[in-house]
Structure 1
Amino acid sequence: MPAVARLALLIGLLVSSPLALARGPLTETGELQGAPWRIDVPDDWNGELVMLAHGFEPAGTPRATAWPANEATPALLGAGYAVAQSGYSRQGWAVAEGVADTERLREHFITRHPDTRRTWILGYSMGGAVAIASLEQHGGHYAGGVSLCGANLPGEALAGELLTTLVAFDYFFPDAQGLPAGGLASTATGDLPQMQVYQGVAAALQTKPDVAQRLASRLEVSTDDLAGAISLHALVFHDMAKRSGGMPIGNRQTTYRGFGDDDAFNAGVKRYTADPAAQASFSGQPVLTGALHRPLVIQFNHRDPTITPRMQAIYPRLAAQAGATPAPTVLPAAGAGHCGFSDAETLAALKTLADQVAATPAP
């Protein structure tokens, strides 16, 4: 065979072989069962993969043709990791889809890169719940996981927190201008543009500063963040209701505390009954039991108006009740706001996880 032909054959074999695909730098994008995805492999790949789970994406948000890189991607690539990230096959509160689509992409990556040494999962915000649910359901495929600013609580618990916000606002501001007569918890709110909801909430709060302060204290946010937190809670709650086909949770049996005159509040707050079919459809979105068998690192931000201290405490408590081995490691808060982590803080959390794995016998 002539030398040129032999060279062409060698190049062809290298390009088509899984080993060659494991060499970087490499960026690939595509779609798997309706979920856009992206894979990046650095030139100096350390043989380890980070599955990166993104947060809540409002339904109807325009998407780029190729799934874009998360802001943390360059730092992870610079540290030597390959990064694979799914855009999920559904927008909105899509934890179930996020888990399935992330697992599908992980399998795709390993098929193309069989020499991968270890796989980690790292998620932000709603992606934190995707990361933890993936560890609980597919833990055998991961060395461990990191949840940053994560919504680390079962779907029913989160929906209950959101509904509390909405009915409390409706109790204190029953005639808010620019909002539906039925209040924020009514289905009509789910059809409004998000900016209109925010503006209506913000204007109402300004009419009763003392009540706004009381509400902010109970919801564990600052008064400056209150309008944004309430309108976000409305957005997510009504997304949950739409995807489940009705009211996913009720508050008939809920006794509220911390709103001032609690007797008057409980007597006057509007009550809702969960739609049975919607409740069954929504139940366990996500299913989080606390039954972990892989190391997990959790970290939140200072003054997070989205995932408040009350929400942050739920998963560690579940893990303790389930006897998780090892128990999750909750790092001290870093940064500020919601998902306000620097690249260095993200890498430090991942390093903490890797150090724990190195010191822990494999199950």
Structure 2
Amino acid sequence: MRTDAATPPARVRPPRTRRRTHTACAAAFLLAVTALPASAAAAASDTTHVDGRLPSGATYMMDVPAHWNGTVLLFSHGYVSGPDNPAQDAADDATKALLLRDGYALIGSSYATTGWAVADAVPDQIDTLSAFTERFGAASRTVAWGRSYGGLVTTAIAERHPDRIDGSISLCGLVHGGVANWNNTLDPVFAIKTLLAPDSDVPLVNIADQTAADDAVSTLTSVVDSAQTTAEGRARIALAAALHNIPGWNQPTQTRPAAADWDAQQANQYEAVQGLLRTVAFNRRREAEVRAGGNMSWNTGVDYARLLGESSVRKEVTELYKKAGLSLRADLAALNRAPRISADPAAVAWMSSTSSFTGKLAKPQLSVHTIGDALVPVQTESALKRAVTAAGSAPLLRQAYTDNAGHCTFSPAEKLSALHTLEDRLTTGRWVGTDPESLNSRATKADPTTPTRYVPYRPTPYLRPYDLAHPADGR
């Protein structure tokens, strides 16, 4: 069902008729109409769809089925760069169709800006929830959920606005927080430059502009490509990958290597390292540094031998170094001798205040991760558990894992299972059936057409856990 609205944003097709909609922010919220995705429309042709704009400039969207079950799901989307910044209210069309079928109301905003936008995203999401309540009435239950960077936004909402939600779900989220994220992103590129391009002047932090970012990507990508052609280079790429806990199986298109097939595992890591260089290490870092007002990462005081010793793939690195005839001890010593990088204290303080967590939960949270994630490694869940436990909130947190490769490659069934598990916790007041067998059973009931891959799993420690202390001195 279409809704009519005031003058819509220019990039939204105008509705056939118009009328003014008043909200708690008076005429600041402008509503418009667009067509539903085909899959969602097929699942719920009687859904009311609303597009709107917040006072911040962010757009939002809402989909409310006629048979609304009283629960609203506030979706936080992942990292977006570039000018195209649409609002999103579900992780994907297939999951959206199932949720509408089951009567859930779906809402979410675009965030006022793209990039590392948590300072905009959290208030925009809360304002979207307020706009929903003004238009459709109070929900009987509100669940915040998000994927990838949206998992960071969701966890920030859970910590800062527990009065507005009943519970939360993070899917493959950056639940280690911003400071830890950028420190952990620094380690692999530091190793690549130190061991494979020691004479390079590539800046790893304080990226001056887009040209500098592009040049850095080009230079280090070329270095890595060349290194991949030799046994010595492959061993060193594996070491760099290990410092980010990049697994040896990290894309659904990859054949899963045997446990001791070190060469195949390294080849898969090489692909992930290429992706890290092209996206996060320089381009996204530059954008985050602009927001933070400087460099928010450091590796002063870091013992890279210790980090490797705690890495999930240390055995592979050891074996590849043996095969190449290289001294791993010598390379680790070279990393520990290399000139270190210090952070800008003000930038660290900004990243801590906007993008890091205390671990203090007031409402239940279920955090779910794929075990083969190279972009946001599953070890981030160890960092979250450590913080939540230290804050005394452990009873409110549960974590679950799916046995598949890639970032956020959950099936619709797995996502609905997570939702139903959290709902059981909210209904009963206790966690019920968070074991893999129960999660898979719920998933199959929710959608028998897509995979169910929950497994018992315990991630190794996050490699920079002390970063969660959020030091403001930049070390």
Q: Aligning the two structures, in what range does the TM-score lie when normalised by the shorter sequence?
A: 0.7 to 0.9
Q: Which amino acid aligns with 2:172?
A: C
Q: One-letter code of the match for 1:167?
A: F
Alignment partners' CA distance in 1, 2:288 and 2:21 = 44
Q: Which moved more, 1:74-83 or 1:133-142?
A: 74-83
Match of 2:286 in 1: 238
- Contact preservation (8 Å) 2:359, 2:387: yes
Match of 1:31 among 46, 50, 53: 53
Matching residue of 1:340:
409
Counterpart-to-counterpart distance in 1, 2:129 and 2:194: 46
Instruction: Report if aligned partners of 2:361, 2:393 keep a CA contact under 8 Å in 1.
Output: yes
The one-letter amino acid of 1:31's match is R
Give the match for residue 76 of structure 1: 99
Q: How has the CA–CA distance of structure 1 residues 201 and 145 changed in structure 2, closer, same or farther, with 3 Å as cutoff? A: farther
Q: What residue identity is the alignment partner of 1:215?
A: A
Q: Distance in 2 between matches of 1:199 and 1:298?
A: 33
The one-letter amino acid paired with 2:47 is P
Quote the RMSD (CA, aligned, Å): 2.8
Letter in 2 for 1:211: R
In 2: Cα distance, 1:317 partner to 1:209 partner:
33
Q: How does 1:55-134 map to 2 (within 5 A)?
A: 55-58=78-81, 60-63=82-85, 70-71=91-92, 72-134=95-157
Change (3 A) 1:119 1:205: farther
Task: Name the residue aligned to 2:355.
Answer: 286
Q: Aligned partners of 1:86, 1:243: CA distance in 2, in Å?
A: 20
Q: For residues 199-239 of structure 1, give each alpha carbon's deviation from its aligned partner in whole angstroms, at most 9, with x where no partner exists.
A: 43652442512211222233222323222134333133222
Q: Residue 227 and residue 195 in structure 1: after superposition, are their counterparts in 2 closer, same or farther (change >3 A)?
A: same
Q: Which residue of 2 aligns with 1:358?
A: 427
How far apart, CA to CA, are the structure 1 residues paired with 2:238 and 2:356? 34
8 Å CA contact 2:188–2:243 kept in 1: the answer is: no
Offset at residue 279 of structure 1 (A): 2.7
Give the % identical residues: 28
Partner of residue 381, structure 2: 312
Contact kept, 8 Å, 1:294 with 1:326, in 2: the verdict is no
1: CA distance, partners of 2:388 / 2:345: 29
Q: Which moved more, 1:337-346 or 1:239-248?
A: 239-248
2:242 matches 1:217? yes
Q: Which residue identity does 1:241 align to in structure 2?
A: E
Distance 1:286 1:163, change over 3 A: same
Q: Is 1:226 equivalent to 2:248 in the alignment?
A: no
The answer to whether the 8 A contact 1:154-1:285 is kept is no
Q: Is the 8 A contact 2:77 2:88 kept in 1?
A: no
Q: Is the 8 A contact 1:120 1:143 kept in 2?
A: yes
2:292 maps to amino acid = S
Report the Cα distance in structure 1 between the residues aligned to 2:161 and 2:46, rounded to whole angstroms: 27
Native 8 Å contact 1:47 1:82 kept in 2: yes
For 2:422, give the aligned amino acid.
Answer: L
Shift of 1:56: 0.8
Range moving further from structure 2, 66-75 or 120-129: 66-75
2: CA distance, partners of 1:203 / 1:48:
50
Instruction: Describe the superposition over 1:237-294 as per-residue Cα deviations: whole angstroms up to 9, x where unpaired.
Output: 22221211211232223332346333221102x4222223323333333131111111
Contact 1:201 1:230 in 2 (8 A): no
Cα 1:251–1:313 change in 2 (3 A) is same
**Would you say the 8 A contact 1:125–1:150 is kept in 2?**
yes
Q: Which residue of 1 aligns with 2:303?
A: 255
Say whether 1:322 aligns with 2:391: yes
Give the Cα–Cα distance (whole angstroms) in 2 for the partners of residues 301 and 156 of structure 1: 22
Question: For 2:407, what is the secondary structure of its paired residue?
Answer: coil
Q: Describe the shift of the 1:16–1:279 C-alpha distance in structure 2 as closer, same or farther (beyond 3 A).
A: closer
Aligned to 1:155: 178
The residue that corresponds to 2:207 in the other structure is 187
TM-score (norm 1): 0.84
The equivalent of 1:272 in structure 2 is 341
In 2, the alpha carbon distance for the partners of 1:153 and 1:186 equals 22
- One-letter amino acid matched to 2:64: V
SS in 1 for 2:183: helix
Structure 1's unaligned 5+ residue stretches are 1-14
Partners in 2 of 1:134 and 1:151 — Cα distance? 13
Which SS does the other structure have where 2:49 is aligned? strand
2:222 aligned to which of 191, 194, 200: 200
Structure 2 unpaired stretches of 5+? 1-19, 24-44, 249-268, 309-327, 431-475
Deviates more, 1:330-339 or 1:194-203: 194-203
Contact 1:39 1:82 in 2 (8 A): yes
| 2:112–2:120 contact (8 Å) kept in structure 1 | yes
> Which amino acid letter does the alignment assign opposite residue 84 of structure 2?
P
Q: Secondary structure of the residue that 1:329 maps to in structure 2?
A: strand
Is the alpha carbon distance of 1:346 and 1:82 closer, same or farther for their aligned partners in structure 2, counting shifts above 3 Å?
A: same
- The aligned amino acid for 2:371 is H
Q: What CA distance in whole angstroms lies between the structure 2 residues aligned with 1:197 and 1:329?
A: 42
TM-fit CA distance, 1:40: 0.8
Residue 295 of structure 1 corresponds to 364
Which amino acid is the alignment partner of residue 242 of structure 1? V
Q: Which amino acid aligns with 1:232?
A: T
Q: In the alignment, residue 142 of structure 2 is paired with which amino acid?
A: T
Q: Secondary structure at the match of 1:98?
A: helix
8 Å CA contact retained: 1:198, 1:231: no
Once residues 157 and 403 of structure 2 are traced to their aligned partners in structure 1, the CA distance between those partners, rounded to angstroms, is: 24
